[in-house]
């Protein structure tokens, strides 16, 4: 019969040494790489500022919905526009994944790490994924 005592058991008092051994060690090279990555990200954000300004804003179509007490209509406006913009993002990601993956497979084939069968199989899939991505990009309002 199991005991009902609330005394700490061996499982609760074990050392956390295995967890700390699994953590990555921060040396000077990794800190330097992290700083380079953060500086490049900052530079990218500065250059992309005009792109972010041109993005559409999610706003309700009918601003009177909330004033009239129609909270569901107000939420529906936000949801519709968010799904439309989300489908644009998904389309762009699918297009980049299809094209980037095909370029990667061609690179592996040219360096001798892959076969032509791999390139053709992934090429057929990449064309399908890119077609779905283009469909999402061109028909985002009609899809959802």
Here the tokens at position 135 are 């469909």
Task: Show pLDDT as tens, one digit a residue, over the chain (144 residues).
Answer: 555 555 555 555 555 555 556 556 667 888 888 889 899 888 888 877 776 666 666 566 666 666 677 777 777 777 877 888 888 888 888 888 888 888 999 999 999 898 899 899 999 998 998 888 888 888 877 765
Distance CA 142, CA 144 (A): 6
Residue 87 exposure: Cα atoms within 13 Å on the Cβ side: 17
Length of the chain: 144
User: In terms of pTM, does the model score above 0.85?
Assistant: no
Distance CA 49, CA 42 (A): 11
Distance CA 13, CA 10 (A): 5
Our CA angle for 94, 99, 100, nearest 5°, is 95
Q: Residues 3-37: pLDDT tens digits? A: 555 555 555 555 555 555 655 666 788 888 888 98
DSSP type of residue 15: -
Q: Which residue blocks in 12-143 are alpha helix, DSSP H?
A: 17-21, 28-47, 49-54, 64-67, 71-110, 116-138, 140-143
DSSP type of residue 27: -
């Amino acid at each position: 019969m199991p005991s009902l005592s609330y005394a700490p058991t061996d499982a609760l008092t074990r050392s956390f040494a295995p967890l700390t051994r699994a953590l990555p060690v921060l040396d000077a090279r990794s800190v330097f790489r992290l700083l380079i990555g953060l500086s490049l990200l900052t530079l990218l954000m500065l250059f992309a500022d005009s792109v972010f300004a041109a993005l559409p804003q999610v706003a309700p179509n009918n601003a009177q919905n909330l004033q009239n007490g129609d909270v569901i209509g107000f939420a529906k406006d936000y949801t519709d526009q968010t799904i439309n913009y989300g489908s644009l993002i998904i389309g762009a990601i699918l297009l980049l994944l299809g094209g980037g993956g095909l370029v990667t497979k061609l690179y592996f084939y040219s360096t001798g790490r892959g076969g032509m069968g791999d390139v053709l199989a992934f090429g057929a899939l990449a064309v399908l994924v890119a077609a779905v991505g283009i469909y999402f990009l061109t028909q985002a309002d009609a899809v959802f």
